[in-house]
Chains A and B, each alone.
Chain A
């Protein structure tokens, strides 16, 4: 199947690995922010004051963080040399931890 590939191991483009790591960080940040705003009323009120709803602010912050981190990590090209399997693993672990973290938080909160 990989007949067109040279002997070097397959790599991901800088933009791909950069945005994958940006997504992993954003998803974890999203869970931490959800927990933080629930346990810190001033933070929730501040987020509410920005867009009339804390959830709207959180969504916009997530979007900006994903785009910003994605561009920064892509331009820095530090992620380009990362093992692609590790990049995929980081994303899977981040999403699973974030989802489980949210479920546990709201089960106990």
Chain B
């Protein structure tokens, strides 16, 4: 049974990755901007903004309502930096990613095929979204691993592990 917490968390990560891919799409199309692909660039920029906004809403809801117990687990486990460094940085850097994603559709309204300065701007904005967005995704994976390690640490503490004889190392 998948809980609503899991659905929201997976949706958050999925929207974020899709937003990064859409920003990469904008970047690649802009490298060869011409009148024929102006519509595609603008559509991809709107998709980037939409995906990042949905990722922000899902992530924010999950962070406020479901994260506190996991935070307590992480802080009590062997990887407290998963919260103290990675979550703290991620939760604030993701706000910057969202602002950049909202900016992207505005910048793609320029005549990119005729304006080299506008092309450079769109390449910069979309490139920044890809780099910072993927950094935020990576931080999410480390936070998730911080929870896993804390749970494993708790489960193994004081537990007697049965190891099959075939896997046991015999020391003489």
A residues neighboring B (CB under 8 Å): 1-2, 4-5, 9-13, 15-16, 19-20, 23, 26-27, 30-31, 34, 52-53, 55-56, 58-59, 62-63, 66, 84-85, 87-88, 91-92, 95, 98-99, 102-103, 106-107, 109
Contacts of B95 in A (CB 8 A): 30, 58-59, 62
User: Closest residue of chain A to B61, judged by CB?
Assistant: A56
Interchain CB contact under 8 A, B124 and A92: yes
Given contacts A55-B60, A59-B56, A91-B121, 17 further A-B contacts (CB under 8 A): A1-B116, A5-B114, A12-B110, A16-B107, A20-B107, A20-B121, A23-B99, A30-B92, A31-B92, A53-B64, A55-B63, A55-B91, A56-B60, A62-B95, A63-B99, A95-B96, A99-B93
Q: How many residues of B contact A (CB 8 A)?
A: 35
Q: Which secondary structure dominates where chain B touches chain A?
A: helix
Interchain CB contact under 8 A, A30 and B96: yes
Interchain CB contact under 8 A, B115 and A91: no
The 3 closest A-B pairs by CB, nearest first: A84-B117, A10-B117, A10-B115
Per a CB cutoff under 8 Å, which of B91, B121, B132 touches A88?
Answer: B121
Q: Which secondary structure dominates where chain A touches chain B?
A: helix
At the interface, yes or no: B150 with Cβ under 8 Å from chain A? no
Interchain CB contact under 8 A, B121 and A107: no
Contacts of B102 in A (CB 8 A): 23, 66
**Residues of B44-102 whose CB lies within 8 A of A:** 56, 60, 63-64, 84-85, 88-89, 91-93, 95-96, 98-100, 102
